[in-house]
Structure 1
Amino acid sequence: MGAAYADVTHSTCYSLSRFCSKLKHLDLTSCVSITNSSLKGISEGCRNLEYLNLSWCDQITKDGIEALVRGCQGLKALLLRGCTQLEDEALKHIQNYCHELVSLNLQSCSRITDEGVVQICRGCHRLQALCLSGCSNLTDASLTALGLNCPRLQILEAARCSHLTDAGFTLLARNCHDLEKMDLEECILITDSTLIQLSIHCPKLQALSLSHCELITDDGILHLSNSTCGHERLRVLELDNCLLITDVALEHLENCRGLERLELYDCQQVTRAGIKRMRVGLGLGSGLNLTSFLSNRIKH
């Protein structure tokens, strides 16, 4: 079920609870009238729920989450993007009841701190996908908790988490070998050291965003391109506004034969000549559609 209407209220949820006891998938994205009472209604009758999207339902607080998870302990995916009133205690409730959780989205839940993420990691060991983008208070303590407790992690989105460093990502990479997608946009403290660790320990990596990570250099790209993931798996690499990247990085990336998209917006040391050489290098026997291969949006 999908919805995006303000007139979906707690009465709707109580009706679902009463008549849809077998409901497993419910999408209430942007239903801004949803309240804690609504979640209480859902929890009382929809105990088979596995997927629930409450993104941008910004009236919800920890009390609603507690009521929800007490009744819906089989949740596998819970999306809470833009639920800006949620604090660490809400995550404690999730940790206490939702041990089957595989996917959790906390994008722009800006009140969340390391304490809440640590709680989730300790109780939800099956977690495979976690979005923390816009949770600007987080530090390496969150990455450490993920690395020590969630070895099945495949997707981590941590855009705009500007306090995260190489130390945290080193521990994460050494323990989470199934990582396939990482969004590290505006993780401004990371350096080539993070790319070296990902190159060594994360051979399944397919998509990596490093946009606005201004300390990344050609050397980090060299390690990435020479790794197992670079040779065999890497499909998407975003390097927008990585100001130290030059044409040398493009030469290294010719080793990434499976690369489908490369973002280079405002990489001011990358030239059109360098892009042309890369096209030629990758085009030799590769069969790639080179006209759409590179996002050629540099300014000069």
Structure 2
Amino acid sequence: MEDCPSLIQSNAHIYSDLPASVRSERGLPRESGLVLCSPECPSGARTAPHSWHIKTHPLEIPQKWEASPFLSGQDASVYSLIPVLGPSLTVLDLSSCVALTNRTLQAIRASLTHLSVLRLAWCKELRDWGLLGLGDPSDEPTQEPQEHLRAKLRRNLKSRSFFPQLHQELEHQALGPKDPSPQPQGSSLLMLRALRELDLTACSKLTDASLAKVLQFPELRQLSLRLLPALTDKGLVAVARGCPSLERLVLSHCSLLSNEGWSQAASSWPRLQHLNLASCGQLTEQTLDTVGQACKQLQMLDVAMCPRISMAAVRCFQAQLPQVTCVQSRFVGGADLTITL
């Protein structure tokens, strides 16, 4: 790292242990380990063009950034690189770093506040509390069962029955439900105010609980929420209101999204140009009509493998929006793949 100072001041992509065939396609070194790609790195010629290859094991972790006992292997390597990269880093690609943890994500938010591009595709261990900047729920002391707490409180108040109304209020306050929808804290993803592109593809443990509160970036241009099985209409509407400047949106394989969600969300995205709704099984031609009326700048639409959208609806959509130059409609209308193939 010492003979490549420009890496700290330029864009970087960190790739995990990808298969050799994928590494070859991307022009990356075939050896295992992490890869940082920098267009300004003079040492890049020794590996792949514009890249810096870092072995996973020899990395020295700075004392003030010692790897947590919860971090291991690949995640510890990424964690140790964060302070080295510096606050001037603008592009960080951690795609396929499947071992990336929420604590490393929190470190990224705290140190790399000037990021404009953050790709976390297939980081399957990321959870809602990590995006919200909250502590790990597993670190909290075990709570006593509600019924046990209720019985204990009643015993304590039994001898003071001459204040029944006050006792009822105290019991309600003590046993009232916790906030089911926690708010983002100071170290949440919202700290990355310069974001223009965010990829959360296949971060399958994320739900509306975090997405609805954290995805509030008025200047965000590209967003991928592909393969998020828990994303619902509520989350979609919240994302639409929080990210009104989107130009590219990928929501394929989000099976809980429906026409109702799109009827509320579409009007927030007048600048949308590329939209991917492939394999969203609940969507019908009603969503096509909604998108056609609200997204007048749309150029590309993917509704492949949407069983409730007919080919006739796709043709009608194209006729109404001639500026849409590409519509992917493979196997729409519930086509039998065994016959079509």
The answer to whether the superposition gives a TM-score over 0.5 is yes
Q: 1:266 maps to which residue?
A: 305
Q: Distance in 2 between matches of 1:273 and 1:240?
A: 17
* Deviation digits for residues 153-205 of structure 1 (CA, Å, limit 9, x no counterpart): 1111111110011121112223x222111111111100111221122121211
2:223 counterpart of 1:182: yes
2:210 counterpart of 1:165: no
- The alpha-carbon deviation at position 62 of structure 1 amounts to 6.1
* Unaligned residue ranges in structure 1 (runs of 5+): 1-12, 40-44, 71-83
* Deviation digits for residues 4-24 of structure 1 (CA, Å, limit 9, x no counterpart): xxxxxxxxx99xx4xx88787
- The alpha-carbon deviation at position 277 of structure 1 amounts to 1.9
Q: Are 2:11 and 2:90, in contact at CA under 8 Å, matched by a contact in 1?
A: no
Cα 1:220–1:65, aligned 2, differ >3 Å: closer, same or farther?
A: farther
- Equivalent of 2:120, from 121, 129, 132? 132
Q: Distance in 1 between matches of 2:201 and 2:12?
A: 27
Q: 2:326 maps to which residue?
A: 293
Q: 2:284 maps to which residue?
A: 246
Between 1 and 2, higher relative CO (CA 8 Å, sep ≥ 6) is seen in: 2
Matched residue SS, 1:268: coil
- The alpha-carbon deviation at position 209 of structure 1 amounts to 0.7
Q: Distance in 2 between matches of 1:295 and 1:217?
A: 19
- Pairwise CA RMSD: 3.3
Residue range with higher mean Cα deviation, 151-160 or 92-101: 92-101
2:272 counterpart of 1:234: yes
Q: 2:252 maps to which residue?
A: 211
Q: 1:74 maps to which residue?
A: none
5 Å-filtered alignment, 1:1-300, equals 17=3, 29-33=27-31, 53-54=51-52, 60-61=55-56, 63-64=58-59, 85-88=73-76, 90-95=78-83, 98-145=86-133, 146-174=188-216, 176-227=217-268, 229=269, 231=270, 233-255=271-293, 256-283=295-322, 288=323, 292-299=325-332, 300=335
* Unaligned residue ranges in structure 2 (runs of 5+): 14-25, 37-41, 44-48, 66-71, 134-187, 336-341
Q: Distance in 1 between matches of 2:109 and 2:312?
A: 47
TM-score (norm 2): 0.63
* Deviation digits for residues 182-239 of structure 1 (CA, Å, limit 9, x no counterpart): 1111111001112211221212111111111000111222223211x2x2x1011111
Amino acid at match of 1:209: V
TM-score (norm 1): 0.71
